[in-house]
Amino acid sequence: MKKLLFLLLALVAVGAKAQGLKGTIDLKDSVINRSIPFEVAAGAKNLKYAVRADLTNGEATLTFTDPKGKKAGGFTLSSKTKGGGSERSKVESSESTSTPVAGTWNLAIKTEKATGRITYDIEVIKP
């Protein structure tokens, strides 16, 4: 019983040092302009983020910006072909910074007639 209690307390302590934000957006011929703000505390040890986009139609732009408005990462994905058609397009991107600027960061997601799925996973390691 003591070992179980110790294990549970250890898991809670580890979980308290990280803040996470995860989400999935399913798209069907969607036009969206969404802003997902997240906080990075002063003294945070690390900021990690990973995004995945899988489109069968349309276009998606994902942009991470720091509290000063400076672009910290992102990409644009399009399913459009040179011939005017469309084909399935996928991208996975992940980044990490060991000295993140404290304040409100932002993940901006913009799509144009997009069909597919976007997933994101953001983790801030607290001091």
Predicted confidence (pLDDT) per residue in 27-59, tens digit: 999 999 999 999 999 999 999 999 999 999 999
Residue 4: pLDDT band with limits 50, 70, 90: very low
The residue that leads in pLDDT, 8 or 112, is 112
Residue-level pLDDT at 10: 45
Q: What is the pLDDT of residue 1?
A: 52
Structure tokens at 99: 């000295």
68 exposure class (CB count in 10 Å sphere: 0-12, 13-18, 19+): exposed
pLDDT band at residue 81 using 50, 70 and 90 as cut-offs: confident
Mind giving me the DSSP string for the chain? -HHHHHHHHHHHHHHHTEEEEEEEEEEEEEEEEEEEEEEE-TT--EEEEEEEEEEEEEEEEEEEE-TTS-EEEEEEEE-B-TTS-B--EEEEEEEEESSPPSEEEEEEEEEEEEEEEEEEEEEEE--
Work out the pLDDT band at 99, boundaries 50, 70, 90.
confident
End-to-end, the C-alpha distance of the chain in Å comes to: 31
Average pLDDT in the 78-88 region?
87
CATH of 18-125, one of 1.10.3720.10, 3.40.50.300, 2.60.120.380, 3.40.50.920: 2.60.120.380
Which is more confident, 95 or 1?
95
* 11 exposure class (CB count in 10 Å sphere: 0-12, 13-18, 19+): exposed
